[in-house]
Amino acid sequence: MTFQIDKMHAGDVPEVMAIERESFETPWPSSAYRRELYENEQAHYLVLRMSERAAAAADPAPRSRMEVPERRGFWSGLLAHHRIRDIAPAPPDQVTLAGYAGLWLVIDEAHVTTIAVRPAYRGRGLGELLLVALTEIALDINARWLTLEVRVSNEVAQGLYRKYGFRPSGVRHRYYSDNHEDALIMWTDEIQLQPFQQRFAELRNDLRTRLLANGDIAPEEGAP
């Protein structure tokens, strides 16, 4: 079973919404994602596509004739803007995505807006994979910092963010509308500087090794 990072397209929105409803008490409406894709030039959204074999294992329904992206290297080509193409929505009962994530560039700050993984695929490093992919994008678009909000009770997510250099910098009180829970604001150091990039490269390579060993990603083309 393998997974591949790809750009989010309009045809992905119905499945993104299914994951959104499984993951959040107050999900965004589908119109919000369409606005992000078509109207917000500073938004960057990714999905985690399942391989043909993985999708078939998750759902026995026959696959639609949607265009499937060619295989790319694990880290290369995350921002292949020249390959923009639309993707037809999958049938409602078909599973083709394991997760999604996004960020906004606000001047020189990359704000992580969302990361979500289907419950059935959690606990295997896929959320970390999406965070790494967002960090790659932030580096590519010359952001200087990464920032995000996380529930003060979500210690698992906070542990992942701390691992990648995020540190608490404040609290947004009663930030979440479902239960008025506070949000912890977290920031990285400057991501374009050598200390951050060296640590990030080490963590990225460790994750790649683990995912390859578990069969969750395919080897890069040309790799032994």
List the catalytic residue out of 15, 20, 36, 149: 149
What tokens does 195 get? Answer: 């200390």
Query: Any catalytic annotation for residue 220?
Result: no
Q: Which element (helix H / strand E) includes 4?
A: strand 3-7
Cα 217 from Cα 208, distance rounded (Å):
8
Residue among 109, 161, 164, 190 flagged as catalytic: 161
The answer to whether 149 is a known catalytic residue is: yes
What dihedral angle (degrees, nearest 10) is formed by the CA atoms of 155, 128, 22, 145?
Answer: 80
In sequence order, the 6+-apart residues with CB closer than 8 A to the CB of 146 are 103, 109, 110, 112, 134, 135, 138, 166, 187, 188, 191
Q: Give catalytic residue positions.
A: 149, 161
